[in-house]
Amino acid sequence: MRPMTKRTLFLLAVTTVFLLTVSDTAQAQAAVTTHSGSLADGAKYLIDVPANWNRTLFLYSHGYVTPGTPNPPQDFAKDDLDADLDTLNDTARISADPEVVRYPERNIIINGEIHLPVLTPHTKGDGLVVVENESAYKEVVDEAGNRRFLRGTLVDRAGHCAFTPAETIAAARTLINRLDTGRWQNVDATDLNNAAAVLGPGFNIFGTPQGVVPVPPACIKFDPNRYLRPFDSLTEE
């Protein structure tokens, strides 16, 4: 069996949620229902579902192994769950260093406090970071009074960061031009598509499971909807 990868863990979590969702009948028949098997890539899983499952999923990975070494699923919870919980409860709590906490507040939390030009390319069909993030980001930047630093470009394509080399280069050159001149120029969809197109067929390509295929520039004018669950990390509202 191959070692577990991030992709394997993701597939394991998705499979787990699916199995637990359809297991209501089995739960009613026994105190604990056990599911086990293998994913398509060979990763094995074992899932215990209590009859009164509260829809909280605890995912445990029991480590990596050398490729080819057996790595069967282990029923971790039944070894000595009470002892493990006692260990966790008895362990000393360590408070975070206040300066360490302030670092992400200053540099990572999205509060609109930008003081350099920012260009945010985004695919319309991004399933990992939904396109409504763009409207949420623009809103906090506007509230901070920094709209002059921000521009966005949307690409009519599915997938996370599914840009062609040409679209990426066109966006980078647009940002560099803003840094050089102090003004946003040629940032609309037509301008970016033209800038990408002139780079030629060697850059207007995209990788697919069937191989690299030619793809025309696909920047569009698009206004994302409001983010579905707005949350202010500073006021916690």
Q: Are residues 145 and 195 in the same domain?
A: yes
| Residue 65 counted as domain residue | yes
Query: Are 8 and 63 spatial neighbours (Cβ–Cβ below 8 Å)?
Result: no
Query: Are 151 and 192 spatial neighbours (Cβ–Cβ below 8 Å)?
Result: no
Q: Are residues 117 and 77 in the same domain?
A: no
| Residue 227 counted as domain residue | no
Q: Are residues 24 and 125 in the same domain?
A: no
Regarding predicted confidence, which is higher, 106 or 150?
A: 150
pLDDT in tens, 134-159: 998 998 899 899 999 999 999 999 99
| Residue 89 counted as domain residue | no
Residues found in the chain? 237
Confidence of residue 25 (pLDDT cuts 50, 70, 90): very low
pLDDT in tens, 30-45: 477 888 888 776 777 7
CA-to-CA dists, residue 123 to 187, 202, 205, 229, angstroms:
16, 21, 16, 20
State the Cα–Cα distance between residues 196 and 48, nearest whole angstrom: 52
Q: Are residues 189 and 120 in the same domain?
A: yes
**What are the phi and psi torsion angles at 171 (to 5°)?**
-65, -45
State the Cα–Cα distance between residues 229 and 237, nearest whole angstrom: 10
Q: Which domain holds residue 186?
A: 111-220
The total domain count for the chain is 2
Query: Are 49 and 33 spatial neighbours (Cβ–Cβ below 8 Å)?
Result: yes
Q: Are residues 38 and 125 in the same domain?
A: no
State the Cα–Cα distance between residues 203 and 5, nearest whole angstrom: 31
| Residue 94 counted as domain residue | no
Residue 31, pLDDT score? 76
Residues 6+ away with beta carbon under 8 Å from 226:
132, 135, 136
Quick one: how far is CA 132 from the chain centroid?
Answer: 14
Q: Are residues 77 and 33 in the same domain?
A: yes
Residue 61 has pLDDT above 90, yes or no: no
| Residue 236 counted as domain residue | no
Q: Are residues 30 and 117 in the same domain?
A: no
Q: Are residues 148 and 211 in the same domain?
A: yes
| Residue 104 counted as domain residue | no
Q: Which two tokens stand for residue 27?
A: 């739960």
CB atoms within 10 A of CB 171: 22
Q: Are residues 72 and 118 in the same domain?
A: no
Residue 20 has pLDDT above 80, yes or no: no
Q: Are residues 136 and 204 in the same domain?
A: yes
Q: Are residues 150 and 214 in the same domain?
A: yes
Q: Which two tokens stand for residue 131?
A: 């396109």
Angle between helices 165-181 and 189-197 (to 10 degrees): 120
Residue 49 has pLDDT above 70, yes or no: yes
Q: Are residues 140 and 202 in the same domain?
A: yes
| Residue 44 counted as domain residue | yes
State the Cα–Cα distance between residues 107 and 162, nearest whole angstrom: 26
CA-to-CA dists, residue 44 to 4, 33, 34, angstroms:
9, 17, 13
User: Where does a domain end: 32, 66, 81?
Assistant: 81
| Residue 74 counted as domain residue | yes
